[in-house]
Amino acid sequence: MSRYGKRDDLIVHESEPFNAETGLTSLGTPLTDTDAFYVRGHGAIPETDPESWRLQVAGLVERELSLSFGTLREAFRERTVTATLQCAGNRRAGLMAVRDIPGEAPWGPGATGTATWTGVALAEVLALARPLETASDVGFEGADLSPETEPTERFGGSIPLDKASRPEVLLAWAMNGERLTPVHGAPVRVVVPGYIGARSVKWLERIELRSEPWAGHFQHVAYRLVPADEKPGPGVGMPLGLVALNSDLLSPRDGETVQAGPVEARGYAFAGGDRYVARVDVSIDGGVSWSQAELLEDLGRWAWRHWRITLSLAPGEHEILVRAWDSSAATQPDDEAGLWNPKGYVNNARPRIRVRAVHASS
Amino acid sequence: MSRYGKRDDLIVHESEPFNAETGLTSLGTPLTDTDAFYVRGHGAIPETDPESWRLQVAGLVERELSLSFGTLREAFRERTVTATLQCAGNRRAGLMAVRDIPGEAPWGPGATGTATWTGVALAEVLALARPLETASDVGFEGADLSPETEPTERFGGSIPLDKASRPEVLLAWAMNGERLTPVHGAPVRVVVPGYIGARSVKWLERIELRSEPWAGHFQHVAYRLVPADEKPGPGVGMPLGLVALNSDLLSPRDGETVQAGPVEARGYAFAGGDRYVARVDVSIDGGVSWSQAELLEDLGRWAWRHWRITLSLAPGEHEILVRAWDSSAATQPDDEAGLWNPKGYVNNARPRIRVRAVHASS
C-alpha cells in the first residue's frame, strides 16, 4: 500500500500535495477501484470530523442554509450515479513531448477513472434554499487551502445553475459503495458528471449562488485553455467546464514488442458533457482505413466506455491510431502539436502508439 | 425571384423536390433572410389550409390531443427563439471531392442558416397530453410524402423526450417575424435547436410519444453516419441528432485573387447541441501557428457565431485554415478524407481554402 490507502502501482507526480494517477492496468476495468483511483489536489488534505461538519448554502438565495451531515442524509433522497471524473490535465504528457510545460505534472492517461457515487442531488438542496432570479452559477468551496495561490486561497469553482439543477449532480459521501476516504473529499464532495474534475470540489463546506462564474484562482486563472502564444493570467483564455471528447489506448503500450498475428488492443473513450460515445475506430495504416472497435460494458451516459479490437499485425513496426466519436458525430482532432497550450490542458488528440510485432519464438 | 419566393442567388441542387442552398453572400448576415434561407425537402410541398389543419398528439400519452391552429395559438404562451438550422449534408461537396457520393446533392456551406422562430414550446403541448412513464422519444410526422422511400412514406423523425421537454424546442408558425411560407413548413413546423435540420420536421401533422426512436426511413436508414466501408441500410451506422461542431470560411473564396496586404477573412461557426462557440482560430502557415478571430454578434446559445479576422498576406499563394472550438474545448478534426462516409454527412473538417495575393495594380 502506498499513501492514503492507495495501491503501489499509482504513478505519483507529487507527494505534497498528493497527486497521483491510476496505473495502466488498473484503468482497464469498467469501474475503477477506489484504491487505484487518481488523486488531484492543490493543498494538504483537510481532516474533518463529520460530527462537526456543516454545509453552508449562501449567496443569491431566499433562504440561507446550514446543514449537518445528519440532516443532509435524512432530509433528501439518496441517489447513486456512475460517473467518470477526468482531470483537465489528463494526457498532458503528450503535449509536454511537443514542448515543455514547466511547473505542471506530466499526467498520462490515468488522470481519469469511473466510480459509483452516492449522495443527494444538489438540485434538491438548492430547491430548499430557493435561488433568486438573479442566480446563474453555483459555486463550491472546499476546506482545502492551496499554497499555489497568493494570498492562500481555498479551492473552489462553479457550474451553471442549469447544470446544477440536473439530477445527476451530487453531493456525495460514498464512492464505490463505501464512505469517502479523506483523500477523495470526506465527508462530502461534489460530483459533476461530464465536467472537468476540478468542478467536483472535494471537502465541500460552502455552496454559493452567484450571478457570475467563480472568481477564484482555480477558475479565473487556472483551468482555462490559453492560446499557445498567450501568457496565463486572470481571465485569459477560455474557461474549461465540459470535458471534451477523449480516448486513449491502454494496451498494447507504446514501444511494446508483441507477437505478430492477432493482437488485442484495448482502451477507453469518454464523450464528456451529456454526450455518449457512439463509435471508436482504430487504424493501422495511418488513418487511411479504419476498423470499428467493439464497445464494452455500457455504464450509462455519465461514464466512459471501454473498447477492444483484434488487430492483425504482420511482423515489423506498426503505428496504432485511435479516434472516438461522440453522439453528435464529432470525432477527435488529429494534431497533438496544434493542441499545445501553456497550461497543458485538454489533450484530446487521437491517441497514437508504436509497437513492434515479431514472429513467435517457438 | 426564383421559385417559392426565393432569391435568385440560391444554389438550386434539385428543382423537384426543391432543394437549394443559401448563396455565400447571403450567409454573411447574423440572421439569414427568409428569401435566402436554404431549403431541404424530400417530397412535393404540401399545401395545407390552416383552417382545416389539425395537430394530432398520440402514442404513449394519457390523453390524446387533436388541436386546431387556433387552439395552439390561444392555449399556449407564444415564444420566440433565435436558432440555427443545419442540414446534416452541409459541406458535403468537400467529401465528394475526396470520393464521389452518387445520388446525393453536393451541398456547399449554405445548407445552414439562422432565423428567429415564433411558436409555442413543444413541452407545454406535451404536458397537456401527459406522456406515460414508458415514453422516451417524441416523433414528428409531416404531411409530405417522399418518393425516395418504397413504399412511399411521410417524412418524420424523433428526438429524445428529455430534449423535447426543454423550452427551446418549438412548434413554430413564424420565421423572422412573418408567417411561415409553404416551402418552410406552413402552417406549423418543429424547430429543434442544436439538432440536425431533419428533426425540425416541416408541415407537422402528428406527434407520437414512443418508447424508441423513430423507425421510419429518415431516421432508421437515412441521416445516419455509416462507416466508410459499410453499405447504408436499416439500422446501419450511428443515428445523427446533435449537430457536430462546424465552421466555414465565407470570404475570401477558394481560388480567389486578392490584393496583397491586409485581407479580411470572414465566416461562421456553430457548436451544435447546447454548446456555444468559444473560439475561432485562423492559420496561414498550415496550422503551425494560429491567430484568434474576433467573434461577432452573439445571438444566444442556439445560434451560429460569425467571425472575422484581418490577415496579412504577402504576394503569392496562401492557404487559409480555420478551426472552431466549442465550450468543451473540443476543436474540429483536420482530415476531410478521413471523414468521408457513404451518405456524405457531417463534414466538419477544418475549412481550408487557397487564395492568391497580388500587388495592387496601381
Residue B361's pLDDT is 65
Q: Is the dihedral of CA A331, A335, A340, A344 positive or negative?
A: positive
Q: Give A188-209 pLDDT, tens digit per residue.
A: 999 999 999 999 999 999 999 9
Q: Is A292 on the interface with B (CB under 8 A)?
A: yes
Mean pLDDT of B351-362: 88
Is the Cβ pair A331, B329 closer than 8 Å? no
Q: In whole angstroms, what is the distance from residue A137 CA to residue B25 CA? A: 39
Please count the other Cβ atoms lying within 10 Å of the Cβ belonging to residue A78.
12
**Percentage helix, strand, coil for chain A under 3-state DSSP, each rounded to 5:** 15, 40, 45
Q: In whole angstroms, what is the distance from residue A90 CA to residue A113 CA? A: 11
Query: pLDDT-derived band of residue A154, with 50, 70 and 90 as boundaries?
Result: very high
Please count the other Cβ atoms lying within 10 Å of the Cβ belonging to residue A105.
21
Q: Is B300 on the interface with A (CB under 8 A)?
A: no
Q: Give B140-189 pLDDT, tens digit per residue.
A: 999 999 999 989 999 999 999 999 999 999 999 999 999 999 999 999 99
Select the residue of A228, A243, A279 nearest B328 (Cβ to Cβ). A243
The total number of residues shown for chain B amounts to 362
Q: Give B83-92 pLDDT, tens digit per residue.
A: 999 999 999 9
Cell of residue B169, nine digits: 424546442
Mean pLDDT of A258-286: 97
Which residue type, as a one-letter code, is found at position A31? L
Query: Whole-model pTM?
Result: 0.95
Round the average pLDDT of chain B to a whole number and report it. 96
- Residues of chain A with pLDDT > 90, as a percent, come to 96
Q: Is B228 on the interface with A (CB under 8 A)?
A: yes
Q: List b or e across B197-206, with b for residues whose CB sees 16 or more CB atoms inside 10 angstroms.
A: bbbbbbbbbb
Is the Cβ pair A334, B335 closer than 8 Å? yes
What is the Cα B79 distance to its own chain's centre?
21
Enumerate the residues of chain B whose CB falls inside 8 A of the CB of residue A159.
none
Q: Are A74 and A85 in contact (CB under 8 A)?
A: no
Q: Give B108-151 pLDDT, tens digit per residue.
A: 999 999 999 999 999 999 999 999 999 999 999 999 999 999 89
Q: Is B280 on the interface with A (CB under 8 A)?
A: no
Enumerate the residues of chain A whose CB falls inside 8 A of the CB of residue B229.
289
Q: In whole angstroms, what is the distance from residue A225 CA to residue B292 CA? A: 13
DSSP code of A41? -
DSSP code of B276? -
Select the residue of B278, B281, B287 nearest A335 (Cβ to Cβ). B287
Enumerate the residues of chain B whose CB falls inside 8 A of the CB of residue A339.
331
What residues 329-358 of chain A have any CB closer than 8 A to a CB of chain B?
Answer: 329-335, 338-339, 345-346, 348
SS3 B83: strand
DSSP code of B52? T
Mean pLDDT of A214-223: 97
- Pick from B155, B156, B133, B138: nearest CA to B146: B155
Q: Is the dihedral of CA B83, B88, B93, B97 positive or negative?
A: positive
Q: Give B42-59 pLDDT, tens digit per residue.
A: 999 998 888 999 999 999
Q: Are A304 and A84 in contact (CB under 8 A)?
A: yes
Interacting residues of B31 by C-beta distance below 8 A, sequence separation 6+: B82, B114, B115, B116, B176, B299
What is the four-CA torsion angle of A58, A61, A66, A67, rounded to 10 degrees? -120
- Residues of chain B with pLDDT > 90, as a percent, come to 96
Residue B2's pLDDT is 64
Select the residue of A227, A241, A328 nearest B327 (Cβ to Cβ). A241
Cell of residue A275, nine digits: 454526450
Select the residue of B238, B329, B332 nearest A329 (Cβ to Cβ). B238
Residue A260: is it exposed, middle or buried by C-beta count within 10 angstroms (0-12/13-18/19+)?
Answer: middle
